[in-house]
Structure 1
């Protein structure tokens, strides 16, 4: 693959072949957006899984977020005209990288894939088939995830977590799905599962570049304010666990996420759904899982401790924290 560079004037450089960025003339059905930063060794796995989709009418936009490794050479060595390379001059974060991809995309839909993850071959086909059977209110779809790379303790923790946090909340729809997502009754990994109408994403303003966590959930909430998302109950995306952000990062990002969606939060609180308390419990979990019991206590109050389901969660997270303190892995 050959490439030429063009400055965009916003701190990024786009290297591309074929159609000009954002062209809608005879565009593909799907633009796959893969943000990446210093992952030249594992990036090919993600790109290959996109190119191996049974839906061939795609373009794959690899957005290099200021890497200092061999990412550009890796992408340019791929002999497939559907692949385009875009690059930032400096590292600006995953939200900015995805936004660069959205701006350059020419597909009817955009689909996001993190560079350390991969898709099963029928991922896009299954999602498009579901959307093609729905009316225009349905603007996108997501799917289930399979996880790899977890330690034995991590796999046990995931199984226990699934039991403790399982919910009967709706998995698809509009406002009802937004409420379930914001109150943490539904979990999704939009960064590698979401397929959504490109015009809808553009109309919502794309990803909040001030968020490094919850940025994908925040986008989903705005998408759900204008349309519905369908759910494909199959693990068609595979995540490879490479670690988690520190608890402090969750604190700041959680605050911004709730502030950005304050209207919906306040409405749910008025109806008796304790969104802010649910999010505080999530922060408690992050601190406990790191073995930081004193920091976790700062987010707890008596009403949270006395709820039976919360007691089970606190016990579970505390076991994870004790394992970390004993020298184990999460």
Structure 2
């Protein structure tokens, strides 16, 4: 990793100290909007670092041009994904609190002020505070003004809830204690998707507190070029599933069956539907998606606490998909949308 604009820039005025870290990967179309939103904050950041995660030379040059107008630091590293880039930014900073921002999102003007003011006084185990977001398209046109509240419970109080559902704690709408971040080793770089859920779950398990602010502080721009889409997210999802499976083995004596009651309801539809969609579109990843489903099924079949009916339905799904052509999958999909035979869709699609 080679810092190019050193020493780091400090913007005086914010107390306590806050660093904003923006991972950058071939995002010249969006990065100016993100950076500008950081420098328009009602309470300024002490450090602003853009981590170039192995972008193309022409994209990297766009950062140099932008840095002539906004005093941020550029840190260069080989491509490793958002989690790896965020870790590098944290390691290169000194501030007490960490804010992150994806390159295609942008802050509302009171992002830092709102989150800093929500830090509980005298909380020796403060972990993070997070808020809601606006959802928008690629151009920043708002679609809805509440996202987080619609998808999960807040703040986080139960590990069972964190396993059963997506966290919906987004780094771009959060402020994290450096102490808590470093205590868990930061983001797990093996993930290029679900690294957020993994981090905040591990902070929770270490006993650090979390706070939720019922107010939007960030605009979350969702589009097909986002990291939420694509094969890297699919692969990362299965890696995260297997990590959780290892972290939370069933506890029969305590009546806690994590695979059956938490992980399967959360991840099963993804694994089945992704295999179906890959066959339907005759995707280049068809073999990989089928292999993921087969490995997932083997895990389910081997678990003594998953019911026979559930295993039978999954077995039927596997047999159907192994013998299906793209035309057959499209035909069954169309037929099972008709009234009277929708039940077949539940069997076929898991």
Give TM-score, length-normalised by structure 1: 0.71
CA contact (8 A) 2:24 2:51 kept: yes
Query: Post-superposition shift, 1:37?
Result: 1.0
Q: Matched residue of 2:90: which SS?
A: helix
Highest Rg: 1 or 2? 2
Q: Cα distance, 1:305 vs. partner?
A: 11
Q: 2:180 aligns with which of 200, 210, 230?
A: 200
Aligned residue number for residue 148 of structure 1: 136
Query: Using the alignment, how far apart are the partners of 1:204 and 1:172 within structure 2?
Result: 20
- After superposition, residues 41-120 of structure 1 pair within 5 angstroms as 41-68=29-56, 69=59, 70-80=61-71, 83-88=72-77, 90-120=78-108
Match for residue 163 of structure 2? 182
Aligned to 1:17: 6
Of 190, 211, 236, which aligns to 1:230? Answer: 211
Distance 1:256 1:33, change over 3 A: same
Structure 2, unaligned stretches of length 5 or more? Answer: 301-308, 314-332, 338-350
Cα pair distance change 1:241/1:198, threshold 3 Å: same
Query: Any stretches of 5+ residues in structure 1 without a counterpart?
Result: 1-11, 307-317, 323-330
Q: How far does residue 195 in structure 1 lie from its aligned partner after superposition?
A: 1.1
Question: 1:305 and 1:194 mapped to 2: Cα distance?
Answer: 42
Corresponding residue of 2:115:
127
Deviation at residue 141 of structure 1 after TM alignment: 0.9
**d(CA) in 1 for partners of 2:270 and 2:150?**
15
The match for 2:241 is 258
Query: 2: CA distance between counterparts of 1:188 and 1:112?
Result: 12
* 1:39 equivalenced with 2:27 (yes/no): yes
Q: Distance in 2 between matches of 1:63 and 1:48?
A: 16
Q: SS state of the match for residue 189, structure 2?
A: coil
**Contact 1:247/1:283, CA 8 A, preserved across alignment:** no
Within-5 A mapping of 1:315-326:
none
1:240 is the counterpart of 2:240 = no
Q: 8 Å contact 1:131–1:139 — kept in the other structure?
A: no
**Structure 1 residue 145, shift from structure 2 partner:** 1.8
Mapped to 1, the partners of 2:164 and 2:93 lie a distance apart of 32
- Report the equivalent of 2:316: none
> Post-superposition shift, 1:18?
3.5
Q: Taking structure 2 as the reference length, what is the TM-score of the superposition? A: 0.67
Distance change >3 Å, CA 20–CA 117, structure 1 → 2: closer
Aligned length in residues? 279
Displacement of 1:28: 6.3
Q: Partners of 1:28 and 1:137 in 2: how far apart?
A: 16
Is residue 95–residue 215 contact of structure 1 (8 Å, CA) maintained in 2? yes
Partners of 1:230 and 1:100 in 2: CA distance = 25
- Please, what is the CA RMSD of the aligned residues? 3.8
Give the conservation status (yes or no) of the 8 Å contact 2:96–2:177.
yes
Moved more, 138-147 or 98-107: 138-147
Instruction: Give the distance between the partners of 1:239 and 1:144, measured in 2 at CA.
Output: 10
Contact 1:287 1:293 in 2 (8 A): no
Cα 1:28/1:133, change in 2 over 3 Å: closer
Structure 1 residues 232, 291: CA separation in 2 closer, same or farther (over 3 Å shift)? farther
Give the CA deviation at 1:271: 9.6
